[in-house]
Amino acid sequence: MAELLLGNIEENIADEEINAFLQKYGFPPYDEIQRIEGAGRPAALLRYNELTDDFLRTLQPRVHNIFWHNRTISAQVIPVREED
């Protein structure tokens, strides 16, 4: 499992539009999305059940710091967390 955090995205963008945007840059469809509210900088945490962190890191530069919907978005791969 791997997770990608997309930061500074427009909060009114539909989940399907985020998926289509990422697929345009070669990402596979995500398995799960979690919206994270922020003070003017909302984010989305995307989970890919079948990908590794290393593979996701090869895709991440394709969308990091790209200008989309009047915002410069950030993309960060979240390291695997240990389950308690």
Domain ranges of the chain: 1-39+53-67
pLDDT tens, position by position, 4-48: 999 999 989 999 999 999 999 999 999 999 999 877 789 999 999
pLDDT band at 83 (very low <50, low <70, confident <90, very high): low
Q: In terms of C-beta distances under 8 Å and separation of at least 24 residues, what long-range contacts does 78-82 make, across chains too? A: 78/2, 78/3, 78/4, 78/5, 78/45, 79/53, 80/1, 80/2, 80/53
**Model confidence at 81: pLDDT above 80:** no
**Predicted local confidence at residue 39, as pLDDT:** 72
- What mean pLDDT do residues 67-71 have? 95
